[in-house]
Amino acid sequence: MARAIAFDYDQALKRATWLFWKSGYAATSLRDLLKIMDIGEGSFYNTLKSKKHLYLACVQRYEETEGHKRWKALMSAPTASQGIRALFEVLLDCLDDPSTPSRLCMSAAMASEEVLSESDLRKLVEDGLRGFHASLAERLGQDREQGRLPAMLDPNITASVVVTYLQGFWRMALVDYERPLFERQIDTFLSGLGL
């Protein structure tokens, strides 16, 4: 018979997600996790098995919350161009929110040597990037076919450039972030792509 969980799993997962987002995978120790989740080591191993298992659950939670907001902004706009711009608005709002644990997106932070050195985590990163790229390229392709984007626009290349820019966007926000400057840069970047 399975043991009943002796702690508030959802609250513990929420706190662990916050810590992984704030500190990253490699810099988050088991001791820090146990402290913020307010559970003992036995409960941790009985329920969550390992730091990596917990991290995977936290990434899933992050995608269901933050990722969903971003996906909705991108996909619910009438055009791909408006969707990409709406996505950046959501990202800027996240950076402006004082409760955000880090200026580095948790998903973007996964593109680190420590995470990519573990094959199952690397696959998660690659699958996530591939999925986002494919959805973005499909949306761009639909708009091109309907005449809302220039015929010479290559949806795959454009999607790749946006994905690459997003990685740099998050890392530059760690160095120096001023929303008006970022807004001007984003507008220049997207206008240059024909978006």
Residue 169 inside a domain? The answer is yes
Residue-wise pLDDT tens digits, 34-47: 999 988 888 888 88
pLDDT tens-digit profile of 6-37? Answer: 678 899 899 999 999 999 999 999 999 999 99
Residue 55 lies in a domain: no
3-state secondary structure of 118: coil
Taking CA atoms, 185 is separated from 172, 180, 181, in Å, by: 12, 9, 6
Q: What is the pLDDT of residues 122-177, one digit of tens each?
A: 999 999 999 999 999 999 999 999 999 999 999 999 999 999 999 999 999 999 99
pTM, two decimal places? 0.90
In contact, 38 and 7? CB cutoff 8 Å: yes
Which domain, by its residues, includes 103?
63-192
pLDDT score recorded for residue 2? 47
Q: And the tokens for 104?
A: 């580095």
pLDDT of residue 3: 54
Q: Contact at 8 Å (CB) between 170 and 105?
A: yes
**Is 34 a member of any domain?**
no
Q: Answer yes or no: is 162 within a domain.
A: yes
Give the tens place of pLDDT for each residue, 69-105: 999 999 999 999 999 999 999 999 999 999 999 999 9
Domain-located, residue 24:
no
CATH number for the domain including 69?
1.10.357
Considering the domain boundaries, does residue 124 fall inside one? yes
Q: Could you tell me the two tokens for 96?
A: 């402006």
Would 122 be classed as within a structural domain?
yes
The Cα–Cα gap between 143 and 155 comes to 9
Q: Is 69 within a domain?
A: yes
Overall domain count for the chain? 1
